[in-house]
Homo-oligomer: A and B are copies of this chain.
């Protein structure tokens, strides 16, 4: 497991706590997916290798701490006592839902690598990947139903509906080169940010935080989620597969409009705009790599990566502003650090 964080010294004990708790989340995750049927067990084993940044369970734990009604009166050494089984279960649930979307996305994108390994669809076929994704979703909901109240299940169910709606909206706009920024953000808010916002909300639910805090942290998560997707767009265009750890250069091939491209088309000269549209239309098969290289060069000329990075940074500024209502604790600082790391991540 690899952390999302570069952590300053004063937050170190909370970050270490987070790492320990994520190991417990993994245990809950693995127990829930265990199967005595060998064909199921071997597929589940493969999915365990997909585990990456664990951003969503990290948010459940860190938000759970930072918004806990007792956090201001608790010495850092006792933070761990504030984490209950509910936090761990909700962390495992949201990661399982996320992993189901990864498995199905890889089928949709025909992706070959994920977390530096082959995808389930490449290794075992699309059919196994579709059913495995369904198994993960079912397992997530079943686990969620073991909680004493249905608040978390309602939030997760709603977020999953919104995520799918966002993906359908994205599919509807495939190869729509006239897609504008507002529509782009509408898609991203649904397909990526909603589940991340819900992870933050789950931390509040598990800690019994008050409704205003829950709303503020949902907004925090939503802003962070949008920034996260913008960074993903940039990495798909500029990242190396060996560093990013998953198939890159998929957005262009799949006709997905991303923020740098939208910015470029809005700011390029008519001639350059025409040339880029040509590149986007021809992006398939053998010419893909060359087209991709030309596209990156074109985007650089209109400073479109910088513009996208600035866009993401604005969302992170908004996200951090939502934290001001929380008591000033190392747990809150950890959330700030997590938010900032979204802008610098290379994987």
Contact = CB atoms under 8 A, between A and B. Distances in A.
Interface of A: 35, 37-40, 43, 100-101, 104, 107-108, 126-128, 130-135, 137-139, 141-147, 150, 153-154, 156-158, 160-161, 163-165, 167-169, 171-172
A43 B128 contact: no
Contacts of A128: 168, 171
B150 A130 contact: no
A131 B172 CA distance: 12
Given A142-B157, A145-B154, A146-B154, A165 B108 contact: no
Q: Which applies to chain A's interface (DSSP): helix, strand, loop or mixed?
A: helix
B131 A158 contact: no
Given A43-B168, A160-B141, A165-B40, A108 B131 contact: yes
A169 B131 contact: no
A147 B43 CA distance: 33
Given A128-B171, A131-B167, A141-B157, 8 more contacts: A40-B165, A108-B131, A134-B164, A141-B153, A141-B156, A141-B160, A145-B150, A153-B153
B104 A134 contact: yes
Nearest to A149: B150
